[in-house]
Amino acid sequence: MTFCIISHTPHTIYGNKVYAYGPYVKEMNLWVKYVDKVIIVAPCIINEEISPILLPYEHSNIVIKNIPAISIISFLEALKAMVSIPVINLKIFLAMLKSNHIHLRCPGNIGLLGCITQILFPRKSKTAKYAGNWDPKAKQPLSYRFQKWILSNTFLTKKMKVLVYGEWPRQTKNIIPFFTASYTKKEVPKQAIHKSFQSPFRMMFVGTLSEGKQPLYALQLVENLNHLGFPTTIEFFGEGNQRSTLQSYIETKNLTSIAILHGNKTFKDLEKAYKQNHFVILPSKSEGWPKVVAEAMFWGAIPIATRISCVPWMLGEGSRGFLLEGTLEVDSKMLVEQWQQTDQLQKMSMEGQKWSQNYTLDRFEEGIIKILS
């Protein structure tokens, strides 16, 4: 089988291997494990060094079709996109033509073009992984809503299984609730992890330091908790355009003793941090299935996250973690009240471990095998 991947994820060629964002590749390696040839249509660069957050594809027969990344956030970017789209569409079409199975990664600008082009191949088997928020009531950009409409339209989209996070009412028959995993059954600890939920509390933020992920809100929340008499520290893992804003805030407010910016770290470094920290915070404006939340629970850290997408379900509506309302005063008060109940924190940690450790890579792989067959 020739397996075609259409993705906006940046890929890197280093030596004779193809690399991309670690969690993404970890998942894709399970898909390509059962195919003979892989064609990847995605933005690609040749690099002399590899970031610690990248991992290589594990396949001996990969063909890369390099395309430019496109954006429409400004007039100039939109003009560049208009010039690039015909070339991108042609490469997507030819890759799909040569493939037995088409796999779309959505949402994204490249995924949108893939959604449109796949209409021309009604007889080919297809899958789409919609890694964003599938909630029909969510306020989203027009391009995201258009992708969801095409993928759900069984007249335009034939022989397609669309994998989404969460179970939502009134969906077409090709929409399949799915999940994402980071660890195998072998990695599940033999004994439950017992954390000592005592002050000072330790919190961590994992992800892109972007406005949408709201790392500054996480920092301000920790600052507020300290002002309320609850000593709390926070570690940031990741890079992004908000790093300078965070650094400036930390220095201006003299928060160097409670806030650290680590930058990008390896998967093993993050695992160590999950084990050491009490909480992981994700005040993001939009998510699909946030792996950070599931990974944190796997090692006993309690999530503190926004009430978006399938996050409330992941946190058992508050039985396995704390759901943020989005205002410093309300969220700080809620955490101060809850953190005084150390027995309840222990219970949350245990419940989180039990839940997360059910969603392993082994179970994920079983699901992929069923879909491909």
Is there a single domain that holds both residue 126 and residue 256? Answer: no
CA distances from 172 to 89, 146, 148, 167 (A): 27, 15, 11, 12
Give the pLDDT score at 137: 85
The predicted model scores a pTM of: 0.82
Is there a single domain that holds both residue 157 and residue 223? Answer: no
- Count: domains in the chain: 2
Do the bridges between strand 11-14 and strand 17-21 make them parallel or antiparallel, or are there none, so unpaired? antiparallel
Range(s) of the domain holding residue 262: 189-356
Is there a single domain that holds both residue 117 and residue 80? Answer: yes
Among 268, 262, 183, 182, residue whose Cα is nearest residue 215: 262
Q: Judge whether 297 and 179 are in contact, CB under 8 Å.
A: no
Is there a single domain that holds both residue 128 and residue 233? Answer: no
- CATH number of 193's domain: 3.40.50.2000
Is there a single domain that holds both residue 177 and residue 229? Answer: no
Is there a single domain that holds both residue 211 and residue 252? Answer: yes
- CATH number of 162's domain: 3.40.50
pLDDT in tens, the chain (373 residues): 999 999 999 999 998 899 999 989 999 999 999 999 999 999 999 887 888 889 999 999 999 999 999 887 777 887 888 889 999 999 999 999 999 999 999 999 999 999 999 999 999 999 999 999 998 888 888 999 999 999 999 999 999 999 998 888 899 999 998 888 889 999 999 999 999 999 999 999 999 999 999 999 999 999 999 999 999 999 999 999 999 999 999 999 999 999 999 999 998 999 999 999 999 999 998 887 888 999 999 999 999 999 988 899 999 999 999 999 989 999 999 999 999 988 999 999 999 999 999 989 999 999 999 988 8
Contacts of 119 (CB under 8 A, 6+ apart): 150, 156, 157
Is there a single domain that holds both residue 203 and residue 346? Answer: yes
Is there a single domain that holds both residue 40 and residue 171? Answer: yes
Among 300, 157, 273, 280, residue whose Cα is nearest residue 213: 280
Is there a single domain that holds both residue 244 and residue 337? Answer: yes
Is there a single domain that holds both residue 133 and residue 280? Answer: no
Residue whose token pair is 């610690």? 52
